[in-house]
A and B are shown apart, each in its own frame.
Chain A
Amino acid sequence: MAEKQIIAPAITVSYEGLFNVFELYKILDEWQKKHNYDKTEKESIEYIKPEGKYIELSLEPSRKESDYVKFVIKIHIRMDNIKETVVEIDEQKERMQEGKISITFEGWIETDYEEAWHTKAGIYFLRILVDKYVYKLYTSKFAEGLKAEVNELSTQVKSFLNLYKY
């Protein structure tokens, strides 16, 4: 199995009020494309309930940095009591949603994702040693880049949700 290491610990963004679910999803999707991440949508849930919609998404976009290192951003979105509403923006009616939302972002580095070092037990052991003492310097340079990207994405989402506050 590939070795996984958390680099950017969970950043949670919570919000309650007016927002646009479609626009929020669009921002996340376009950010992934712009930053050359491969799309992975593990789960996409939408339940229509009497008190409003329940939406849950588990996204895991990933980007191969080298043959050995891969970035994975885990995004977990939970929306509850989502109700349809129409608001007037610049004298134009716009369909929006109202409800609770919570988004968690985590940055992970996956090493040896192609499992090239998993052929024999001896090689696997050697890989652990190399990972710990040699590749540590190599992988640590990637960590800063991933942290910055997770921060950028979470800030973009925060800014988007803050727009609707006023």
Chain B
Amino acid sequence: MVKKGGEVSETLGEVKYSGEFDYEALYLTIYNWLKKKGYLINETYKHKMTPSGAEVELTFKGDKKVTEFFKYKIECETKIWGLSEFEATRHGKKQKLNKGRMNITLSITLHLDYNSRFDKSEFTQRLFNMIRFTLLRKKIIIVWAGALMAECYQLHTEIKKQLGMETAYSAW
């Protein structure tokens, strides 16, 4: 059996934040960004009450077919501890805000041959590996995975902006 090197994965980085934020607005920022960029969204949500506040796990899995040969996947994993709600006045308006500590992890996957067209025989699998590791190697890493990474850093910046973080900027 030939092992097919059909995926290029990378964890982009972690955003850790503690303080006040608007949970609903953060949710919409991630969801709308993925939708705007053409990703099909799969969402999982876990909620647990603890004495120090709610514990929430929210994961977005975005999937976008780019060509017949490869597709992009973005995973945004959000974990919040001690989530509580309070009322605050912002720009003269009363608003419900949240408090808590959170970790957001963003990761990307470039999925090659997602239709499994090269899985028909051992020969086609070997052919796939030959194409993937020789002819298309640079294009896969630099052009395709690079573009996905740049796209995901946009989401990274949007999340930081929504949380009001000081380092919410991207030159890319």
Contacts and interface: CB of A to CB of B under 8 A. Distances in A.
Are A and B bound to each other? yes
Interface of A: 21-22, 25-26, 29-30, 32-33, 38-48, 53, 55, 57, 82, 97
Given A46-B17, A46-B163, A47-B18, A38 B170 contact: no
Given A33-B171, A38-B149, A39-B153, A44 B166 contact: no
Contacts of B146: 38
Contacts of B156: 41
Interface in B130-172: 146, 149, 153, 156, 160, 163, 165-172
Interface residues of B, number: 24
Interface of B: 12-20, 101, 146, 149, 153, 156, 160, 163, 165-172
B12 A48 contact: no
Q: Output the residue of A33, A46, A47, A53 with the most chain B CB within 10 A.
A: A46
Contacts of B149: 38-39
A105 to B, nearest CB: 17
A22 B170 CA distance: 11
Q: Sorted from nearest, which 9 A-B pairs have the closest CB atoms?
A: A48-B19, A21-B166, A47-B18, A33-B171, A45-B16, A25-B167, A29-B171, A41-B13, A30-B171
Contacts of B169: 22, 25-26, 29
B164 to A, nearest CB: 9
A120 to B, nearest CB: 16
A39 B171 CA distance: 10
Given A45-B16, A47-B17, A55-B167, 5 more contacts: A33-B172, A41-B12, A46-B166, A47-B19, A48-B18
A22 B167 contact: yes
7 contacts: A26-B169, A39-B149, A39-B172, A44-B13, A44-B160, A47-B16, A47-B18
Contacts of B171: 26, 29-30, 32-33
B166 A25 contact: yes
Contacts of A53: 166
A62 B48 CA distance: 40
Contacts of A45: 15-17
A26 B172 CA distance: 11
